[in-house]
Structure 1
């Protein structure tokens, strides 16, 4: 099967990670993959035919749309898989002339989903995302997956304060400003891993609240798995989210997760491990409850680790995506 994937933009987030790992994973499964994306990602794919196109330009740029159309026609894929809002908005008007089975992946909640509805199938990263569509017959849910570690380390019991970790771009959507506020009075330490435009805001808030001894901003790191092994639990504080990779990464490392009620989280975690999004008081109470009863949190998480191993790995994501392809082209 020849799959053509399209990704717009040139950022360094979960979307880009998802598409690159999907392309590489499909090749490892014996599929032929062509990826149309910004040149910066060319070195990150292996065995994938890479077509460099700068899709950071306007989605209505007629020359860019013509370039996309001609390129896909030349590729002649068996299935066209387009990722996220901008690329979907660019490809949707071309579908009537492309004459190829088409799939769009929606990674988060979106107000206007009309462009997605023009595709033959839509992959949603959670049931919450899927429920945006009135017509459900073409919608399929496939959870984001990550590489499953060969081994994981059990954290030794300690009388020292627990070590929590939060991971994500320092942007309002991740709610890290709320997390800093909620950390007041919490008997645990916190690492915040990531970089972004909210860095100065978070630094200022940590100082204003006299939390410098409890909260550390670690910046961008390439050793996330090592940090997860050193941490006791993960906190997700997002205001909105699609299918956070950090959820899967932590659970596959056998690290408990507590989270705001966003994205795919309620399909993985029980209600007792979640709180309302964008609510500092609720987030504080959630953290405090589970820090004080950490042994119970660890015990409750055991069954969740089993679910993660079955549904939240790269292999599971690839196989579930291949099933959507085969269903569409009757292979």
Structure 2
């Protein structure tokens, strides 16, 4: 029996610098596709070249330029013409807009984040949504819903043990969209003991440090910077909090649930799909976050028990293997009877 082996171009149009959820998604997908025998080339900003290991190919593009920039369009089109992929898969609105006029390959788009306009995806041959709200909003005849998945996280890194309980952990870029200022102000409203750990770096670090000092929270809130041991923190934590203003499908949600750490979240994409309403804040305001935290942190053991089914579902369904298999099924559906540039190889 033979199985199709495809040549796939993954277009990652973020402008370099910060590494986040979309970049992680593309890296993990690229690596898992190559492990299945497909030929994968990622077209992205040069800052990310070291993030993609062989056999994934990386083609640097000036993605810091605007989506209408003629140089970027020319460089991208020339690279795609040279690659001649069976599938050109755009990640995010900017990437979808950049490949709109490229008709040689089957064009797939994945919607990341919660953008108000989804129009760049309407000309794609197929569109992948990563949360239910996106899927409902997509006015496309060939769409599918595929949740983000991860490799089961390693949890064996040693951590400091001097933090008071309940220990609440969050992680992400220190940028306005993550809602950390509202979270810190919400923490200041709580009357119970405990410690909030925020892992990550970004442009707001100094602003958040000053806020922590101004609110008298230096003993109960820690900014620990970037950490590659987030899974270990989550394993020891009593809860994970997501305070974002918007998300497509936060990787932190998946990682926390797979680590057995209950999640309290704003009503962003992904969280609304997997968490019961009682574990969602009404919105991203400090008052709503304070109300959510105060309701659930008084009894961490009950909180964990209440989310046991969410944790089981995450371990069984939100895996990288399941995500990639679903993406490959969708590729096959979109390719239909088209001839392939790379042919097929024996299984």
1:319 aligns with 2:325: yes
Partner of 2:294: 288
Q: What CA distance in whole angstroms lies between the structure 2 residues aligned with 1:70 and 1:329?
A: 22
Partner of 1:19: 26
Q: What CA distance in whole angstroms lies between the structure 1 residues aligned with 2:192 and 2:122?
A: 45
Of the three residues 21, 32, 45, the one matched with 2:39 is 32
| Structure 2: gaps spanning 5 or more residues | 1-5, 338-347
Shift of residue 50 of structure 1?
A: 2.0
Partner of 2:93: 85
Partner of 2:74: 66
Work out whether residues 27 and 48 of structure 1, in 8 Å CA contact, stay in contact via their aligned partners in 2.
yes
Work out whether residues 110 and 129 of structure 2, in 8 Å CA contact, stay in contact via their aligned partners in 1.
yes
Q: What CA distance in whole angstroms lies between the structure 2 residues aligned with 1:150 and 1:204?
A: 33
Compare relative contact order (CA 8 Å, sep 6+) and give the higher one, 1 or 2: 2
The aligned length equals: 324
Tell me the TM-score normalised to structure 2 length: 0.88
Shift of residue 249 of structure 1?
A: 0.7
Pairwise mapping of residues 231-270 of structure 1 onto structure 2 (< 5 A)?
Answer: 231-270=237-276
Change in CA separation of 1:24 and 1:299 when aligned onto 2, cut-off 3 Å = same
Shift of residue 48 of structure 1?
A: 1.2
Shift of residue 51 of structure 1?
A: 1.6
List 4+ stretches of structure 1 deviating above 4 A: 150-153
Q: What CA distance in whole angstroms lies between the structure 2 residues aligned with 1:294 and 1:230?
A: 12
Shift of residue 127 of structure 1?
A: 0.9
1:303 aligns with 2:309: yes
Shift of residue 330 of structure 1?
A: 2.7
Q: What CA distance in whole angstroms lies between the structure 1 residues aligned with 2:154 and 2:205?
A: 34
Tell me the TM-score normalised to structure 1 length: 0.92
